[in-house]
Amino acid sequence: MSEAAETQSEIFAQMDQVPAAGSDVIAESPLSNFHWKTTGAEAGVTLSEQGLAGHLVLRSAGNSSFEAAVEKVLGMSLPGPLQSVSDDSGRVIRWTSPDEWLLTVSNSDAFSVEQQLRAEASGHYSIVNVSGGQTILMLSGDSAEMVLMKTCHYDTHESSFPVGKVVRTTFAKSGALIRRVGESEWELIIRRSFSDYLALWLQDAAGEYGLQII
Amino acid sequence: MLCIFCPHCGEYREEEEFSARGQAHIKRPEDPEACSDEEWGNYMFFRKNPKGLHHELWVHSAGCGKFFNMTRDTVSYEIKETYKIGEQPSVVAAEK
Ligand SMILES: [Zn+2]
């Protein structure tokens, strides 16, 4: 660990946000108590919540030490504008702003990844664990794109929104970070405080195509 | 709806994603203590309200969250250009 990295660990209070084994604190995803109304029959839209993932906001404005740390710890480079990168284990880095990225890892890895990045990087950067503040919804199926077209005004056509692209935009009366994962598979990252509202919205929007929850 | 080019995202987005934040290129006085009340008052409160070309500060609030500048015609609403903070506009009104 470099001297600069040591100083950083002392300055920033780091906390593992995952309840310790044997703790009586129950981890619940934002939509764990939501009662979905599914249509049962032919489902054109499939929704699933990938709750309780580790979400880390990475910020750096051209700090090469931080960029190298990301490459060393994650084996991926910070992607350019509106792009994302992912690895086989399901870790994803999404560009959200010229000096900001959202990294998702498994819940149990979030703290160790943060510590490893801090140990490697020096200089001016920031890592914030926002796992408790947002959740991931996976939207797929033949009519998934129709649901998006009702919900946001961004052009979802493949020529404007190819697989791998990431767009943060208005979503219903809230906002979402949208990533196209496959031709008919989309990832939505939404705020915890809006999750009930957006779940109701998506349930309503998907109703006419048939909704299935997995 | 206007389509606005965000110079940070590098593409056009709907107006709904943006917020306007008033006149651009307002320079804070180098030495506020040395300002007269009138100079400080002009800096703090007085803004241009031109008919025609205007340089404005906008923010891509629902997108990348970054500020940038825009040259806009206040009569036709036509957006002439958007450019990053620190850059100078290429479209400017003729000196009167
Ligand atoms: Zn932008």
**What are the pLDDT digits (tens) for A154-205?**
999 999 999 999 999 999 999 999 999 999 999 999 999 999 999 999 999 9
Contact of A152 with A205, CB cutoff 8 Å: no
* B contacts of A100 (beta carbons < 8 Å): 64-65
Nearest CA-CA distance, residue A174 and chain B, Å: 9
* A contacts of B10 (beta carbons < 8 Å): 81-82
Q: Is the dihedral of CA A144, A146, A151, A157 positive or negative?
A: positive
Determine which of B3, B8, B64, B67 to mutate to test the interface with A (most A C-beta atoms within 10 Å).
B64
Domain count within chain A: 1
pTM: 0.92
Tell me, in angstroms, the distance from the centre of ligand 1 to residue B84's CA: 11
Q: Is A4 contained in some domain?
A: no
Residue B1 or residue A132, greater confidence: A132
* A contacts of B13 (beta carbons < 8 Å): 154, 169
Contact of A127 with A102, CB cutoff 8 Å: no
Q: Which two tokens stand for residue A184?
A: 């008919």
Q: Is A2 contained in some domain?
A: no
Q: Which domain holds residue A88?
A: 43-213
Nearest CA-CA distance, residue A74 and chain B, Å: 24
Q: Is A7 contained in some domain?
A: no
Q: Is A205 contained in some domain?
A: yes
Could you tell me how far CA A39 lies from the centroid of its own chain?
27
Nearest CA-CA partner of A169 in A156, A153, A180, A182:
A153
Residue A96: closest C-alpha in chain B: B64
Contact of A97 with B10, CB cutoff 8 Å: no
Give me the residue from B9, B16, B65 closest to A82, CB to CB: B9
pLDDT tens-digit profile of A82-130? 999 999 999 999 999 999 999 999 999 999 999 999 999 999 999 999 9
Q: Is A137 contained in some domain?
A: yes
Residue B53 half-sphere exposure toward CB, CA atoms < 13 A: 13
Q: Which two tokens stand for residue A22?
A: 């044997």
pLDDT tens-digit profile of A140-163? 999 999 999 999 999 999 999 999
Please answer yes or no on whether A168 and B64 come within 8 Å at the CB atom.
yes
* B contacts of A169 (beta carbons < 8 Å): 13-14, 17, 62-63
Matching residue, tokens 């997108």: B63
Nearest CA-CA partner of A190 in A60, A49, A28, A45:
A49
Question: pLDDT band at A63, cuts 50/70/90?
Answer: very high
Q: Is A27 contained in some domain?
A: no
* A contacts of B17 (beta carbons < 8 Å): 169-170
User: DSSP string spanning A152-186?
Assistant: --S--STTTS-TT-EEEEEETTEEEEEEEEETTEE
Q: What is the CATH number of the domain that holds A159?
A: 3.30.1360.120
Q: Is A77 contained in some domain?
A: yes
CA-to-CA dists, residue A46 to A173, A187, A213, B70, angstroms: 22, 12, 6, 41
Pairing of strands A134-140, A185-191: antiparallel
**What is the side-by-side order of every strand in the sheet holding A84-86?**
A84-86, A92-97, A100-105, A54-59, A126-129
Tell me, in angstroms, the distance from the centre of ligand 1 to residue B50's CA: 27
- A110, A116, A121, A126 alpha-carbon torsion, rounded to 10°: 20
Q: Spell out the CATH class of B1-26+48-91.
A: alpha beta
Q: Could you tell me if B80 lies within 8 Å of chain A, comparing CB atoms?
A: no
The yes/no answer to whether this complex scores an ipTM above 0.85 is yes
Matching residue, tokens 């935009």: A169
Rounded-to-5 percentages of helix, strand, coil across chain B: 15, 35, 50
Counting beta carbons within 10 angstroms of the beta carbon of residue B40, is it exposed (0 to 12), middle (13 to 18) or buried (19 or more)? Answer: middle
* pLDDT tens digit at each of 96 positions of chain B: 899 999 999 999 999 999 999 999 999 999 999 999 999 999 999 999 999 999 999 999 999 999 999 999 999 999 999 999 999 999 998 765
What pLDDT is recorded for position A12? 64
Please answer yes or no on whether A168 and B11 come within 8 Å at the CB atom.
no
Q: Is A76 contained in some domain?
A: yes
